[in-house]
Amino acid sequence: MADRRGPQTLGQDAEALEEETPQMTTETASRRDFLMLTTSIGLASGASAPVQAQVRDGPAGPIRQAPCALEPQQNLTRNLLELAGLWEFQLDPDGIGDGKDWATKLPAPRLIGVPGSWNDQFEDTRDYTGVAWYQTRTTLPRSWRGQRVVLRVGSAVYHATVWINGHKVGEHQGGHLPFAFDITALADWGHASTITIRVENVAMPTRVPPAGYAVPGHATNFPDINYDYFPYSGLHRAVTLYAVPKIHISDISAVTAFEGADGLVHLRVSASEGFSGAGSAAVGGAKTALSFKGGEATATLRIPAVQAWSPATPHLYPLTVTLGDAAEPTDVYTLEIGVRTIEVKGDQLLLNGQPIHLKGAARHEDFPINGRGLNLPVAVRDIQLLKWIGGNSFRTSHYPYAEETMRLADREGMLVINEIPACKLYFGDSDANIRARLDQCRQDFLELYTRDKNHPSVIMWCLANEPTSNAFVNNAGAKLPLDDAYKANGLAFFQALFGYARTLDKTRPFTLTAMSATEWSWADLSDVLCINRYNGWYSHLGDPGSDGALLGPELDALHARTGKPIMVTEFGADAIAGVHADPPEMWSEEYEAELVSGVVDACASRPFVAGTQVWMLCDIKTAQATGRAGGMNLKGVFTRDRRPKMAAHALRKRWAT
C-alpha cells in the first residue's frame, strides 16, 4: 500500500515552517513550496474543523452550526418534520434580493417542487446558473419546546445562504452534502416561521469542480462547464426540521473487525454539551455500559457467531446507543451497521479477508424533470438494474449521493466507491485558486467522511476524477503552461489531500481515477489504481476492439511497475438506442456492446484487476456540445428511462451467468 507517513511528515514540517512564515511570501517561495507550506500549516492547525460555517447571532443568542454526522430520525426522544413539497421560488439574475429584503418575502414568486433541480421545471431555468431564492413557511409543533431545534439541508448546489424569519443564520459552500444550523434561538412558537434559502451556482475556477478554462481545439460547451454532466442546480435533497434533547447524541463511529467467529464493534460516541455521565450501547445481542467524560465515550462490543456483511449476505445489525437510564433515556439513536473488513494486500483487494472483484458501473443522479433531485423509485430501480447485469458495485460519480442511496447500498449488498466532487481538477492557474480548491476538497471529504463513515457498503474513497495534466487555455485566451511546475503543483496538492484524508480514515483504501493524461506521480498515491480508458471512442475511432486489445498490455505494465490492485473504472462508447450496424459502427448498439465486452474479457483474465465498472449505467443529460447528440452523454448501457441496450445484455451474459 502507499506510504502512510505523509500526514505525520507534513505536520512535522508545518511546526517548523510556522516559525518561518513571516519571512516567507509568495514572491520568495516557489509555487510548489508555497502550496506545500500553506497546506502543511492547514493540516497542523486543526484540519478536522469544517471551513463551511459562517454563522450569525440571533435575537436570543448565537446561531450554532449543528453536526451532520447522524441522519435525522423520528424516535422516542427525537422529532422530525420534512419540508418537501411546493416552495415559493424566484430567480435573481441581477443579485438584487439581498438588498431588497427577499429573505422576508419574495416579491413575485412561483411554485417549485422541492426536492428537485430548478432546471427542467420551467422553460427559463434550464440553462440558468446564477442566484435563485426558495421560501416556505411552517409552524413548529408546541411539543418541541425545550428541545434543540435544527434546520438541515441535504444538498444545495452550490452556495447556500439561510434565513429564518428574516434573520440570517449561516452559509454553506459545496453541493451534494448536508449542512445544518441550530435555530432554537429563533424559534417562534406562536406563529408560522418563514424559511428562506438563497442558492447560487455560478461556475468559477475556485470551486470544485472548477470551471473557467478551455481545452485547446475544442468547442465551448453550453452551459460553459468543464465536466461532462449537466450543472443541475437547486435544493436537491430533503430539507428538514428536527428536534433533539438539549443533551443528545451528536456522533457515532463504529469500526468493525473479526476475532475468530466473533465480530468486534469498536465504538466511539459523542454527546452534546460536554456531557459526563452514563449511557449504554447494544448490538447483535451484545450490550455494554458507556461512561461519558467531556462528551466522549468509547467501548468495544463482541457479537458472537457474527454474520459478516458482503454482497452475497448483506446482513445488517441495528446498533442502538442510549444516553442516561435505558428506562427513561435522555436520548436514543439507532443506526444499522454491517460487520466487515476491507484492506489492500499485495495486488488484491480483500473483503473480509478474501479477494473481491467489483463488477458494476459508474452512476449519476439524473432523471428527466427532477434532474439531480432526490428520486427514490429511480434509486431503487438502478440498484435492481445493477443486479440484473450481475453487478455488485458502483461509483458515486462525480459527487456524493443521497443518504437514502447509501442505505439502499447497505441493504442490497452493493460495494461503493464514494467520491467527492473533485472532477477535472487542474493546476495551471494562481496559487490562490489552487489553495482554494484544496481547501474545498478537504472540506468535501471531511463532510463526506463524517456522513458516510458507518456505511459497510462504502469500501473505498475516491479523492478526484480525472485530474488533468493536459495543457489548457483560460477564457481570456492565455495558454496555461504544461511544465514541471504544473506537475509539481498537482503532486503537492494530492500529497496534502491524501495525507489529510488518511488522518480521518485509517480503515479504507483511497484512490483517484486517472485518465490517460493524468500524471502518474499523482495516481501512484492511491492504494488501488483506478484508470479510465476510452480507446475505440476518443482514440482509435471505428475500432471497437481497440480498447480491450490495448488495455491488456497497459494493465500488465502497470501491475509490473506498482504491484498494486488495479480497477478499470470507466470504459465505453456512445450508443443511440435503436441504431444498429453490421459490421458495428460508432453510435450503434453493436459497437458499444463489442467494445464493452472486449474490456471486460481483457480484465477477467488478470487476477490483479480488482474490478471493472462500465461508463455508465444509464444515459445522462450533459451540456450541449459537438459529440453530444441531444445534449446527452449516451454511454449508458441503459437508456435514460432505464431500457437495456445490447451492451447491458452483453454484461449480463458475462457477469450474471
575 within 8 A of 586, measured Cβ to Cβ: no
H/E element holding 337?
strand 329-337
Residue 360 bridge partners (DSSP): 393, 613
Beta strands in 346-428 (DSSP E): 348-351, 354-355, 358-362, 393-395, 415-419
User: Are 388 and 647 a contacting pair, CB within 8 Å?
Assistant: no
Q: Is 478 exposed, middle or buried (0-12, 13-18, 19+ CB in 10 A)?
A: exposed
Known active-site residue 466:
yes
Do residues 576 and 634 lie in contact, with contact meaning Cβ atoms separated by under 8 Å? yes
Alpha helices in 372-430 (DSSP H): 376-388, 403-412
Nearest alpha carbon to residue 148 among 201, 195, 186, 121: 186
Q: Length of the chain in residues, anyone?
A: 657
Say which of 71, 403, 570, 592 is annotated catalytic.
570
Residue 123 CB-density burial (10 A; 0-12 exposed, 13-18 middle, 19+ buried): exposed
Please identify which residue in the block is written with the cell numbers 507534513.
10
Beta carbons of 297 and 251 less than 8 angstroms apart: no
404 is catalytic: no
List CB contacts of 151: < 8 A, sequence separation 6 or more: 162, 164, 169, 180, 181, 183, 195, 239, 240, 241
Cα distance between residue 242 and residue 178, in whole Å: 14
Q: Which of 466, 519, 592, 594 is catalytic?
A: 466
Cα–Cα–Cα angle for 411, 269, 253, rounded to 5 degrees: 40
Q: In the structure grid, which three cell numbers stand for residue 71, read together?
A: 441522519
Q: Would you name the residues annotated as active-site residues?
A: 466, 570
